[in-house]
């Protein structure tokens, strides 16, 4: 199988996630030392979802990141372009609605959602600006956004340690758990090449999002950005 690269060809990325779908959630738990559950709760808290609201979780994979929204009483839609991920998710999370879709051309009408979010998926899209603009398009005026993504610790020593972990330790840890360990080599590369906190905040504003801010997690190795659609 062709390994995904930083060129981020959609077919390569989709095949990569199809290949790791069955063990993806278990591997994530190992890679983050169980922190992903806490981060999902923080995303749900940031979105301030009310019962009956509609939320889109883009690049949702198996829907593990979407489940807390459904449990909060929201109508939760998980969208992803990996059919393998969606198949696993539909089997495991029947309370979530799964939709196949491309982040660069979302299959939803304008102003369809009260809130939108994407976790650890934005750095995998070929055109970040278009994806952020699409998220704004499908969000109601005043609607909320949360972006959970890898980032860069502000302290130089921590940046070096994080680079060692993502570039060397993480791919090794993935080998016993993942059905395709090479996928985690790509994920490490994409994390190192990704925007820092200020750069992502700027990209959000340029895509039309207002009230943009962020919260560092894991000493800045992960960041939770938030915003609102003006109106």
Q: Could you read off the pLDDT of 99-157 as tens digits, one per residue? A: 999 999 999 999 999 999 999 999 999 999 999 999 999 999 999 999 999 999 999 89
| pLDDT band (50, 70, 90) for residue 184 | low
User: Which residues does residue 100 pair with via DSSP β-bridges, in sequence order?
Assistant: 80
Report CA Rg, the chain: 16
Q: What is the pTM of this model?
A: 0.87
More confident residue, 13 or 205: 205
- With respect to residue 1, please indicate whether it lies within any of the assigned structural domains: no
Q: Is 2 a member of any domain?
A: no
**Does any domain span residue 5?**
no
* Reported confidence tier of residue 15, pLDDT bands at 50, 70, 90: confident
Q: Which pLDDT score, from 0 to 100, does residue 61 have? A: 93
pLDDT tens-digit profile of 137-149?
Answer: 999 999 999 999 9
With CA atoms as reference, report the closest residue to 58 among 75, 46, 76.
76
Q: How far apart are CA 195 and CA 191, in angstroms?
A: 9
Whether 47 maps to a domain, the answer reads yes
- 177 falls in which pLDDT band (50, 70, 90)? low
Query: Are the beta carbons of 118 and 204 closer than 8 angstroms?
Result: no
* Rounded CA separation 148/133 (Å): 17
Q: What is the CATH number of the domain that holds 76?
A: 3.40.50.150
Task: Answer yes or no: is 4 within a domain.
Answer: no
Domain that holds residue 67: 10-228
Is 178 inside any structural domain? Answer: yes
Per residue in 36-63, pLDDT (tens digit) is: 889 999 999 999 999 999 999 999 999 9
Whether the CA torsion 216, 217, 223, 225 is positive or negative: it is negative
DSSP 169: I
How large a percentage of the chain has pLDDT more than 70?
A: 89
How many structural domains comprise the chain? 1
In this predicted structure, what is the pLDDT of residue 11? 72
Closest by CA position to 50, among listed 85, 74, 29, 68 = 74
Of 65, 66, 54, the residue nearest 29 (C-alpha): 65
Quote the tokens at residue 51: 């019962």
pLDDT of res. 73: 95
Q: Has residue 65 been placed in a domain?
A: yes
């Amino acid at each position: 199988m062709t390994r995904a690269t930083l060129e981020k060809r959609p077919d390569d990325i989709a095949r990569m996630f199809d290949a790791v779908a069955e063990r993806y959630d278990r591997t994530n738990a190992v890679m983050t030392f169980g922190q992903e559950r806490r981060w999902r709760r923080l995303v749900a808290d940031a979105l301030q979802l009310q019962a009956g609201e509609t939320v889109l979780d883009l690049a949702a994979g198996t829907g593990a990141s979407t489940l807390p929204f459904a449990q909060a009483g929201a109508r939760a839609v998980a969208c992803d372009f990996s059919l393998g991920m969606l198949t696993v998710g539909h089997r495991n999370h029947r309370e979530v609605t799964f939709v196949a879709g491309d982040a660069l051309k979302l299959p939803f009408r304008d102003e369809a959602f009260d809130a939108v979010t994407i976790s650890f998926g934005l750095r995998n899209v070929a055109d970040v600006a278009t994806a952020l603009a699409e998220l704004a398009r499908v969000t109601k005026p005043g609607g909320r956004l949360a972006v959970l993504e890898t980032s860069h610790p502000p302290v130089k020593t921590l940046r070096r340690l994080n680079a060692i972990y993502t570039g060397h330790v993480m791919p090794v840890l993935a080998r016993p758990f993942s059905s395709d360990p090479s996928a985690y080599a790509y994920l490490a590369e994409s994390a190192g090449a990704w925007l820092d906190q200020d750069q992502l905040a700027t990209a959000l504003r340029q895509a039309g999002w207002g009230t943009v801010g962020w919260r560092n997690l894991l000493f800045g190795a992960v960041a939770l950005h938030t915003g609102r659609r003006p109106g």
